[in-house]
Structure 1
């Protein structure tokens, strides 16, 4: 991508550089800059990242994304972090065949993301957030990895406070949203809902309507998550062990290593599943992944087959 296209996406101004200059990658640490990268200068933990600009340019950066003119090749923006989000949003909008599936919750987010991404890879090129890169820095970077051939973006979304999930859904607007669980604690005795509950509400309210293809995938075993059905206009699909769940596990049996086998029961039929990861909690993660995969049209037999071979980094 050229500096000109990045500047257009971020609302930035090019200084000291040819707008046609191509950018090979992105770096935040001057020690990790490769020749041709765009170095993004972020304020973090009270430190001004602009002190690293010279080091980045000396390492071969094509230009820097910065809040202030620096007398060197640069794209000058109001806020580099917000500019990164705008760039990612513009990039995603150029990929009309891309479906974004967002996942939030206080536990199981990483494992569910890993399982879902491996299931979806069997039907189309998939990009997913890695490790803990599910915030306002990591998610845009992941989105920028998608290209014209990418079919699915599996986006873990974490929240540190009110409005955070709303912002992330603006960076990568989701087609489907998975809510694994909702906290029940109260903030400082104030009687208000906890941050996880607020984040979950923000996710389901950001989904398209059912008419426009939006799907909310909710944990039927978690009362707070199940109640979110009333907060969205998207189609609702539930998962869990509850008898009324749309996607559930029956005849669950662990082997000698604690790996669960069960029958995946859905409205579209059943499939046998033998999980590779140990722990009863993995059943719920697998059900969430199965419900999300089914919501975007995947066949239940293929879902069961892929869940039985998937091994992720999260637990």
Structure 2
């Protein structure tokens, strides 16, 4: 979305202090590594101070930079670049996003939250709607106080459907994001234990996720998971119409006859008031079935025909590091689910490892699930028990934070090894993996287990 420097200054209560007020930005970023031409650059402060990169941004072609203080070293073209000074670039980013949202007067906004499945449901919903409408969705997992404003700022003016996933680590986060997005459709995929440390357990998580429902207008639609025991209470948070999706016969969109093939691809039947259909997915794992059901509900509410929705869903491929199934030249099957981990998604991944058809052994290489706080040991032990119940052959846990996971797996038939770091895990795998084996790789994002997958696949280390 286009804003010139003068407009940026007006909407953020700042001032143009260098360059031309007519300098125009058409893309927006806070990261010079991903910045395109004619970009607006916000000098945000987190692990690094974004002001350290302003010169680099300008040299790479940024046309408008938003800062809180000036540096004499800034080199600004007087014709097509500008510097806007504001009190706080993070607040300015939000303020400009509010202006961007106000331009999308005809767009239907969809907010998606939940303890797992947000990104997949968002991607499936965008695909399901297809070319029927002009759809704009957040990239990757841009779902917080920085990613959501950037999603709004990157929306084309002719956007008809805006899809945003909403993450939360603290109470009030989703209320803040909803004020920006102004959703008419709100989706809660499920309530698990992700971020339990900050959100005070499952009931606290439900309360925060329910902020999305409270933000919906009475004319809106809340889409809830009928298989989640929190949904009945969540429905009380909204005056909007409630649509349920799940495997219960009482759901509005009923999922039935789920089949998972040996490659982890699924097909299932859907029964809806819009009609009935069989759905085939290329995504791997039975847990994607409910995500797909939610996406179908969104698309049907938007006005897409069921037949078209089903055709579109069949074409969706998995995102990087999310249930990517690849066979190495050595004949070893890698289930790379290293993007992130929570109790809910870890259980789903273990089920996938159980279900995949391979002639050899099944290995689970698991690291810590972060941000569980006082619930950490109990939740890790439950995952360890799930590994045993799934009859996995080998379990490698990595790091001291995953020791409780190893403890949960003791006493069963699984062979358990705990190692301190990634190199130790790689050494075991290199020496013991055999053709025909399958390896699941999963941990919270900060653990960096994708390095193991890259090694086994012969890729350069990231």
Q: TM-score, normalised by structure 2?
A: 0.62
Whether 1:291 aligns to 2:297 is yes
Q: Matches of 1:143 and 1:225 in 2, distance apart? A: 29
SS of equivalent residue, structure 1 residue 16: strand
The structure-2 alpha-carbon separation of the partners of 1:186 and 1:301, relative to structure 1 and needing over 3 Å to count, comes to: closer
Q: Cα deviation per residue 1:25-66 (whole Å; 9 max; x = unaligned)?
A: 333234555554322111103x43223323333444333201
Q: Matches of 1:254 and 1:170 in 2, distance apart? A: 40
Greater alpha carbon shift after TM alignment, 4-13 vs 233-242: 4-13
Q: Matches of 1:77 and 1:190 in 2, distance apart? A: 32
Choose from 231, 239, 246 the match for 1:233: 239
SS of equivalent residue, structure 1 residue 91: helix
Who is 2:62 aligned against?
61
CA contact (8 A) 1:183 1:194 kept: no
Whether 1:199 aligns to 2:208 is yes
Greater alpha carbon shift after TM alignment, 5-14 vs 229-238: 5-14
Q: Matches of 2:53 and 2:265 in 1, distance apart? A: 48
Unaligned runs of 5+ in 2: 75-81, 324-462
Who is 1:301 aligned against?
307
Greater alpha carbon shift after TM alignment, 292-301 vs 282-291: 292-301
Choose from 26, 35, 38 the match for 2:40: 38
CA contact (8 A) 1:88 1:172 kept: no
CA contact (8 A) 2:169 2:199 kept: no
Who is 1:106 aligned against?
115
Q: Cα deviation per residue 1:231-286 (whole Å; 9 max; x = unaligned)?
A: 00111110000111001112222334232222211122211211112211111111
Who is 1:243 aligned against?
249
Q: Matches of 1:185 and 1:44 in 2, distance apart? A: 23
Which structure has the larger Rg over C-alpha atoms? Answer: 2
Choose from 122, 129, 141 the match for 2:131: 122
Greater alpha carbon shift after TM alignment, 224-233 vs 182-191: 182-191
Give 1:216 deviation, angstroms. Answer: 0.6
Greater alpha carbon shift after TM alignment, 190-199 vs 65-74: 190-199
The structure-2 alpha-carbon separation of the partners of 1:198 and 1:253, relative to structure 1 and needing over 3 Å to count, comes to: same
Who is 1:222 aligned against?
228
Give 1:76 deviation, angstroms. Answer: 1.7
Greater alpha carbon shift after TM alignment, 171-180 vs 126-135: 126-135
Report the number of matched residues: 311
Q: Matches of 2:304 and 2:206 in 1, distance apart? A: 29
Q: Matches of 1:32 and 1:122 in 2, distance apart? A: 27
The structure-2 alpha-carbon separation of the partners of 1:308 and 1:110, relative to structure 1 and needing over 3 Å to count, comes to: same
The correspondence of residues 1-315 of structure 1 with structure 2, limited to 5 A, is 1-30=3-32, 36-45=38-47, 47-70=48-71, 73-183=82-192, 194-210=203-219, 214-313=220-319, 314=322
The structure-2 alpha-carbon separation of the partners of 1:177 and 1:62, relative to structure 1 and needing over 3 Å to count, comes to: same
Greater relative CO, 1 or 2 (CA 8 Å, sep 6+): 1
Give 1:301 deviation, angstroms. Answer: 2.6
CA contact (8 A) 1:160 1:195 kept: no
Unaligned runs of 5+ in 1: none
